[in-house]
Structure 1
């Protein structure tokens, strides 16, 4: 596993959020309705997902701060319904929601104390982890989905240290004994199921 730190994850959240929000702000209504890199999702679906994810992770931050059990989502069905509803909003409404959600999450994380960060919370996948994992969960979302917007950002635009941590994370979750050689951004793209330039590798399917 990568030796990423809590400080690393917080830094990557800021970097990825800047990338995603800046690109989303440039999308007008026609551009927002175009397909994203993720099959079956428009850019509207993607922006709605990233905004909703900020709110969901805010539930975990609340859990860490108060000790009150507040799951990310009430159910997988509700999560999907919220994304579909968000995809029907206008580009302006989506951008407003996104900006509000990321600002609220950032402020909530900034307010956590050192003890709060050690509170055990449970992810949407049912993993019990310390709250220090919340920034890593968010960093993956904003960094990878900044690429998925399909507006020109690639894995090569993400910090090398983040890519190293991402590769280690995906490798562990996929149960891979080894990963193919190649440029770091291309390996990360391949393992996450995104377009890549690696040759003679098996299709792993989508991740995240």
Structure 2
């Protein structure tokens, strides 16, 4: 008989799973607060309605579940057959009836949760490949989902903010985003500082950097390209307003 609890005994992974599930519950709450008519409204993502966001989050759960199945069986099951197929899936999902769209989110979230729950402890270290081509252990799928549900709950534009996202998630998001900038070399001359902490990211070697500082939620909101309220820019290039964050994804 399949166990009805997580098979992993790794305390860190168990905590990560809890954070992902809390994020899923938070997204569900913000979604359930929307009427069916509200789903037709714009999200915070350019060109996407709330329907697109819900469809993306639903199909993302299915895609991540495929990676967990890969780790469980050893049979390669990519997240998507192609970037075009992913985009088509989201566009199609956005046309679903409200009840079908809500069911997509609910059922896909349950499916992913079951895949995580039933994955044997040793299989969490099995390697899978993300849609971006990165080879990662299966445990990385938990963070991949955590990032999606917390951020896109804000993107629903239904009262959620980056201040609602737990601090450990925000800190890891900022590390991910600034790491992507560094890999591409787009953080040259840019230094990010978080008020009240020793957290600093970016180009620390520049003599006169452009500095973006503020509380952690505001800094992550800016870095993720979701807004610039709450951050303070200083240095070159900031005389006419806040410097735009480099592209993340």
Q: TM above 0.5, one fold? A: yes
Which residue does the alignment assign to 1:23?
30
- State whether structure 2 residue 112 is matched by structure 1 residue 105: yes
CA distance in 1, matches of 2:89, 2:119: 27
**Per-residue CA shift, 1:160-195, capped at 9, x if unaligned?**
111111111111011146313210100110111102
CA distance in 2, matches of 1:92, 1:102: 15
TM-score between both structures, scaled by the size of structure 1: 0.93
The aligned runs of 1:155-174 (5 Å cut-off) are: 155-174=162-181
Of structures 1 and 2, the one with the larger relative CO (CA 8 A, separation 6+) is 1
Partner SS state of residue 191, structure 2: coil
Aligned residues: 204
Which residue does the alignment assign to 2:73?
66
* Farther off after superposition, 5-14 or 19-28: 5-14
- Note the C-alpha offset of 1:128: 0.4
Which residue does the alignment assign to 2:203?
none
Which residue does the alignment assign to 2:224?
192
Partner SS state of residue 214, structure 2: coil
CA distance in 2, matches of 1:11, 1:196: 30
- State whether structure 2 residue 191 is matched by structure 1 residue 178: yes
Which residue does the alignment assign to 2:244?
203
- Structure with max Cα Rg: 2
CA distance in 2, matches of 1:181, 1:194: 16
Residue segments in structure 1 that go unaligned for 5+ positions in a row: none
Which residue does the alignment assign to 1:152?
159
- Note the C-alpha offset of 1:206: 5.5
**Per-residue CA shift, 1:2-27, capped at 9, x if unaligned?**
xxx43342122111101111111222
- State whether structure 2 residue 163 is matched by structure 1 residue 122: no
Residue segments in structure 2 that go unaligned for 5+ positions in a row: 1-11, 193-211, 234-241
CA distance in 2, matches of 1:98, 1:142: 11
More helix by share: 1
Q: 1:207 to 1:30 in 2, by over 3 A?
A: farther
Conservation of the 8 A alpha-carbon contact between 1:27 and 1:91: no
